[in-house]
Copies of this chain bind each other. A is one copy, B any other.
């Protein structure tokens, strides 16, 4: 088995190589537990999954391992204090639950029967997120072995959620409830990926979001458009004009103040982002779209990762069936969402949107807004922080690379909540690959990425320890 692995060049790599088979055996066992958090009938499986991981943490050496119940599915908390007095505290976030497997007929192998296929391991959860959590357990062992320590050089805390794939409905309350136990100096998110096997990278931003349901009301009943058309306000027309008003001809959002707080990319960031491979044909094929569109002056990756958007997720009003119904409809709606980037604040953008909508509803049409909560803040990892430098060093060592590329995620996750509640700097260490088919049939993970993830984690604890608590702050 060692022949198929990369050459061993330091103690960490030697340890990981020597113990990779144990990680694979663990992975095989855990992946057989179908812990699908969004399916109520899998509740016991999700609990078994939590218990399995808790036991694995204990075996690894964590002195404190607890299963934390929530109103939904249980999380696992594990803690391993350092004896180093200046040790910073690191909190690793991940999740033990998995996505559903439908459409099951598209799987080539049983999703819960892990299958090795050359350099790959196929199973639901292999990449998202069980494989990545197990590289962490191997990483801790490699860290201890390579440093000759009996306990980590940092205070390690693992918070492993049990319903991330169900939208983390109880995660923020859990953070609030357990806040004192979660104190930390830095957060490591392990639920993302890299650009390629030979292109190590790390997520540096996730977009925030605001979403609102806009209801427009015109006449109190659908009117005959022959008898009244052309003389009374039409809410479907008003909805269309409101949505159309959101963007100018350059694809920029026309809401006054919308861009005021947007942190523009630095030249260095644009340069690094431009090195991220982007294949337009492949992007169009993946998105099954026929053209690119967006804010003028920005690349697609910049539009997705660094620019805020206004999107219409739905619009409706009047007759939508076959044939013709010549009415002036009584009601219409628009479902709008806004992706936010650093340093936009939902609390600032929300009233700006409200004012814009009010201004674009014509006389004779009333409107009502329903906001989806208070919104999600954007999340940014500044590249000039000690934490990011430590991450970069750790990944470069593991991947024999000179540089990691910063990537930006367009979506929003629980990371913003973690950042908000814990108030600590955050970095992303994840080794999924773009073609891992997470959330789709035939999920797989590339085993060498897990080994490198374990190495990177081992190096990272050493890097953080070298910085110390104060060094991480500056």
Residue A324 CB within 8 A of the other chain: yes
- In the assembled complex, the Cα of A334 lies from the Cα of B231 at a distance in Å of 20
> Which residues of the partner chain B approach A309 to less than 8 Å between Cβ atoms?
225, 229-230
A240 contacts the other chain (Cβ, under 8 Å)?
yes
Asked if A351 is at the interface (CB within 8 A of a chain B CB), the reply is no
Q: Is the CB of B232 within 8 A of A243?
A: no
Q: Are A312 and B240 in contact (CB under 8 A)?
A: yes
The reply to whether B311 and A229 form a contact with Cβ atoms under 8 Å apart is yes
Expressed in whole angstroms, the minimum distance between the Cβ of A351 and any Cβ of chain B is 19
Instruction: Determine, out of A79-87, A154-162, A291-299, A440-448, the stretch whose residues face the partner at the interface.
Output: A291-299
Within 403-430 of A, Cβ neighbours of B (below 8 Å) are at 409-412
Contacts of A10 in B (CB 8 A): none
Once the chains are docked, how many angstroms separate the CA of A308 from the CA of B229?
Answer: 9
Alpha-carbon gap, A236 to B335, bound state (A):
10
Q: A290-B363, A303-B231, A307-B230 are in contact. Are A239 and B315 (CB under 8 A)?
A: yes
Among the listed B287, B300, B332, which residue makes an inter-chain contact with A315, where contact means beta carbons less than 8 Å apart?
B332
Bound-state Cα–Cα, A219 to B288, Å:
5
Whether B314 contacts A329 by the Cβ 8 Å rule is yes
B317 near A314 with CB under 8 A, answer yes
Cβ contacts under 8 Å, A228 to chain B:
287, 289, 304, 410
B313 touches A315 (CB 8 A): no
Are A315 and B312 in contact, with the CB atoms below 8 A? no
Given the known interface contacts A317-B316, A335-B325, the answer about A290 and B233 at a Cβ–Cβ threshold of 8 Å is yes
Q: Is A277 an interface residue (CB 8 A)?
A: no
> Which residue on B lies nearest to A328, using beta carbons?
B311
Q: Using CB atoms, name the residue of chain B closest to A211.
A: B324
Contacts of A382 in B (CB 8 A): none
Most chain B beta-carbon neighbours within 10 Å: one of A227, A292, A320: A320
**Does A400 belong to the interface (CB within 8 Å)?**
no
Specify which chain B residues have a CB less than 8 angstroms from the CB of A307 in the assembled complex.
Answer: 230
From B333, B365, B411, contact of A226 by CB (8 A): B411
Interface presence of A372 (CB below 8 A)? yes
Are B339 and A230 within 8 A (Cβ)?
yes
Instruction: Give the residues from 204 to 257 in chain A that come closer than 8 angstroms, CB to CB, to chain B.
Output: 207, 209, 211, 213, 218-221, 223-234, 236-237, 239-247
Min Cβ gap A369→B in Å is 13
Contact A311 B233, CB 8 Å, known A324-B372, A362-B293: no
Closest to A332 in B: B315
Q: Which of chain B's residues has its CB closest to A218's CB?
A: B289
Of chain B, the residue at the smallest CB distance from A224 is B411
Q: Is A174 positioned at the interface, with any CB of B under 8 Å from its CB? A: no
**Does any Cβ of B come within 8 Å of A347's Cβ?**
no
Question: Once the chains are docked, how many angstroms separate the CA of A372 from the CA of B234?
Answer: 21
CA distance A219 to B409 in the complex (A): 20
Chain A 129-173: CB-based contact to B (< 8 A → 1; otherwise 0): 000000000000000000000000000000000000000000000
* Closest beta carbon of chain B to A47's beta carbon, Å: 27
CB distance from A233 to the nearest CB of B (A): 4
A326 at the interface (CB under 8 A from B): yes
- The residue among A221, A317, A325 with the most chain B CB atoms within 10 A of its own CB is A317
Given A226-B411, A289-B218, A325:B300 Cβ within 8 A:
no
Compute how far the CA of A315 lies from the CA of B242 in the bound complex, rounded to whole angstroms: 13
Contacting pair B291 A364 (CB below 8 A): yes
A337 at the interface (CB under 8 A from B): yes
Q: How far is the CB of A274 from chain B (nearest CB, A)?
A: 16
Q: Does A120 contact B (CB under 8 A)?
A: no
Please name all residues of chain B whose beta carbon is closer than 8 Å to the beta carbon of A327 when the two chains form the complex.
Answer: 313-314
CB distance from A27 to the nearest CB of B (A): 27
B residues near A337, Cβ cutoff 8 Å: 225, 229, 324, 326
Q: Smallest distance from the beta carbon of A260 to chain B beta carbons, Å?
A: 18
Judge if A366 is at the interface, Cβ distance under 8 Å.
Answer: yes
Q: Which 10 A-B pairs have the closest CB atoms?
A: A291-B364, A226-B411, A244-B244, A314-B318, A240-B243, A220-B288, A230-B309, A314-B319, A316-B320, A240-B240
Q: Can you add 14 more A-B contacts, CB < 8 Å, to A211-B324, A231-B304?
A: A218-B289, A228-B289, A229-B311, A233-B290, A240-B334, A290-B365, A291-B364, A293-B364, A312-B317, A313-B324, A314-B317, A315-B315, A316-B320, A326-B337
